[in-house]
Chains A and B, each alone.
Chain A
Amino acid sequence: MSANIALIDCNNFYVSCERVFNPRLEGRPVVVLSNNDGCVVARSNEVKALGVGMAVPWFQIRALAEQHDIVALSSNYALYADMSNRVMAILSSFSPSQEVYSIDECFLDLSGFEHLGLTRYAQTMRHRIRRQLGLPVCVGIATSKTLAKLANHVAKKRAAFDSVCDFGALDSGDLDRLLGDIEVGEVWGVGRRLAPKLGDMGIRTVLDLKRASPARIRQRFSIVLERTVEELNGVPRLSLEEVTAPNQQIISSRSFGMPVLGLAELQQAVQTYTVRAALKLRRQNALAGAIHVFIRTNPFKENAPQYSPSITVPLASPTSDSIALSHGALQGLKTIYRPGFAYTKAGVMLSELIPASRRALTLFDDPAQLARSTGLMQALDRINQTFGQGTIKLAGEGLTPHWHTKSERKSPCYTTRLSDVVVAQAG
């Protein structure tokens, strides 16, 4: 029997999370903005209906927002991450194999659940997420991952499907008619870049690509796109990746709320990003062998003097200690910093990652120092996890830095900070 793969995707995930804890946003046009309140990263259906595209800069739609009373919120990743973990945990109870594909979508292998009726089974998932978390989701089911993505697209766009679309429940004529109505750019892995090139070959809809000769596609494009054609024909070529490989590098960088000129402020920023990256590193139980630091001026200000240096600092021995990593990062920063430029962005990247279990003591390592460092970092992480990020920080991070990323419209961390929970009126 062929496999049955479901793709479950949360609708307008960030906006939906905000609405769970702020019901007044229900029915209103809402956007969530990226870091630094730069561009639109999530839109409610009301906003989509106004024609606002994805990733549009916020300043470009300010007038429209005022006219239509659009609510704009800064992104609240602590909230979205917690809600995402809840979604994934609930969905994991519906299948023994799950691939978490992104913060708001995952694949489930539903092979073996056919006797329950896949559409009905998927409706149960949808209702459970809606009820327990207040989040709307859509489910697409098909025999390959690529088709499951398209089934999800159909479930989302066509009200008749009631948010669940199982391609296996359609006869082949109906399925082809549906695929003939979807632009080829919607196919997973095709996107806006390949769509025009396929268009030149006369391939405009998903159905066109499904019927294309795999050999020809391979010749003109790649083996990857050939696999996509096979997947569109219901032949699974992409397997579920249940275990995500540990990140090979960790990046932490932001644009500043306003340009920064002095070394002292850059040091604060670089140290803050290093601490953030080090936390991610410890969460995946890894050590970094090198830290890469970069600063840059605003490339869009063509008249202003430009300077965008970077440097890689190798570490004496692989570590996940915030203090050791900061030390390396600040040394690097000192080396590349030049006065007289208006810097608008800084960042660090940790590389040469190895699992912490593979730490080998070198001649210069002091085991006692190592034990102290591990204990200190554990204490730091636990305190910050309990009382909120930034409760304890390195002095160099600064207290109220003015370069800090703008997030003026951020909602409270309703589910991760006790001081931020929803207040219910008893009056």
Chain B
Amino acid sequence: MEQEQVWIKQALGGNQEAFMRLVETYQTPIYNLAYRMLGNSQEAEDAAQETFIRAYTRLTTYDPTRKFISWLLSIASHYCIDRLRRRRLNLVSLEELPPWQGVASDMLQPEERLIENQTRDAVQVLLESLPAHYRIPVILHYWYDLPYKEIAEMLELTESAVKSRLHRAREMLVQAMTQADEDRKRMIMSALQTTPGRRC
């Protein structure tokens, strides 16, 4: 904690090295939030980078009485919500990502992207059934173990709004889970029915 405040002070003075120590410290929680929100490694990388760039340029607005990680998570949350909204309006496509992402492992071919989708964990599939405004409180609640009050501050909501969004989100998750179960059952049933035909 002590060390963190020193880094922040140095970064405020224009020391990029000190800021990079902060990036190294918080890259995993921030990347995880972006990945959980956006659902693919390419966009998650871009969003996590953007979060840190924004944090650096707005460092003077950071209130030292708040936890630094809370401030970062709040920047990341707003950015990802905005990004999902733009994606819905079709303003962002995966192919249009900026060139600084030219890392070999990130330039997935369509088939590879498909594989990434298939191996994605069940949690991610469930999360993606939620609209952005419900997805973000769920992520902040489950991965960062934050109380309603802190989530409310981050998202500029009231505590009761957070409470009801979590509740609604859980209802939607139950729905998505039962839906997925039924789809799986239906798939197995239809596979059983078509098996004799395939033998010929």
Q: Are A and B part of the same complex?
A: no
Interface residues of A (CB under 8 A from B): none
Interface residues of B (CB under 8 A from A): none
